[in-house]
Structure 1
Amino acid sequence: MKNLFFSAVVATATLASCSTVSSILQNTFPYNATVLVAAGSPANIELSSVSAAQSVNQLTGSGANVKDITVSNATLSVGSDTSMGVFKSVKVYLSNNGSNQVLVASRESIPDNVGNSLSMDVNTSQKLDNMMKSGAVQAKIVYVLKQSPTSDISLKASVGFNSVPVN
């Protein structure tokens, strides 16, 4: 009898923890996009690159189970041999295949000695449910360089999202 009771407790705890982990994964999920800044790109001019993005369905496998999707954090990073200080400003937009573009993160007046990673100022006021569940999300990174790079720069945007489960 003790073994049966113990087995039932373990099974219940396992199911509850799996449900909790699944809920956490669905309620906080990352998004990454990488674009190439070509060597010789002109300085002091607004440039942009588009990267195919992922929908919440691709990220969690069950996008229909979340709602009220908002941006929680965003960072940009470059390789260890480059500094984010090469950029004067950077903005990250998400859109549905180029339409319904929403500014999700930005940073102006980037210092020269910032290193190879940079925290962005995020737009937490927008609900992104329809866009993220569309399956056709794109990231557009708009930037201004301080000087023309001498080699290609791989610029990675990492955006974190919060959501709540659908009841």
Structure 2
Amino acid sequence: MKKYVFVFVAFALVFASCGTVQSIIKSTFPYTTTLVIPASSGTGTTLTAVSQGSSFDQNFTKNGNSTRVNNVRIVSAKMTAMVPSDFNIGNLTSAKIYMAKANGDGEVLVASRTDIGANSGNSITMDIDNSHFLDELVREKNVRIKMVYQLGNKITLDASLRVVLGIAADPVQ
């Protein structure tokens, strides 16, 4: 009899932990995009780069999963140079990242960096703005990511920057 109780408790723990792990995995996901800074961009003026964001879980809205989460918020933001890979992000003096619906409606500031050092290298962590919930945006099939930036130094090649926005959500109870 003790053997059956032990097996039952073991199975219960395994199933409970699988559900917990799945919940954690499903409620934290990145939105990524690649933004291009043209070599023709001028220095000292405010410029804009726009691209469509994508999530590794593209079926998030298709399967109705987005209605099972709420309190969706930004938890991390990172910018990395892709082409050229040795592009110094320190060529930017500031950058602000916004998320919006595909048509630009509902734009929300999600990350920024105003103190980019001249020798920052090819990757920086941005300051997040999690004062807004992004519930409506993650329910959209397409999300637009916009970067508003200023160049401090003239660049000679187009630069492609990958932006990864970590998004977290709470499961609906």
The answer to whether structure 1 residue 71 and structure 2 residue 74 are counterparts is yes
Q: 1:56 to 1:66 in 2, by over 3 A?
A: farther
Q: Distance in 2 between matches of 1:42 and 1:2?
A: 76
Q: Pairwise CA RMSD of aligned residues?
A: 2.2
TM-score (norm 1): 0.87
Report the equivalent of 2:17. 17
Report the equivalent of 2:50. 50
Q: 1:154 to 1:77 in 2, by over 3 A?
A: same
Report the equivalent of 2:86. 81
2:125 to 93, 102, 119: 119
Structure with bigger helix share is 1
The answer to whether structure 1 residue 109 and structure 2 residue 115 are counterparts is yes
1:64 Cα deviation after fit = 1.8
Query: Which secondary structure does the structure 2 equivalent of 1:13 belong to?
Result: helix
Moved over 3 A (4+): 1-11, 54-57
Q: Distance in 2 between matches of 1:155 and 1:42?
A: 17
Report the equivalent of 1:40. 40
Query: Which secondary structure does the structure 2 equivalent of 1:144 belong to?
Result: strand
Q: Verify the 8 A CA contact 2:32 2:55 in the aligned structure 1.
A: no
Unmatched runs of 5 consecutive residues or more in structure 2: none
The answer to whether structure 1 residue 27 and structure 2 residue 30 are counterparts is no
Q: Verify the 8 A CA contact 2:30 2:55 in the aligned structure 1.
A: no
Q: Distance in 2 between matches of 1:63 and 1:57?
A: 11
Unmatched runs of 5 consecutive residues or more in structure 1: none
TM-score (norm 2): 0.85
Q: Verify the 8 A CA contact 2:86 2:121 in the aligned structure 1.
A: no
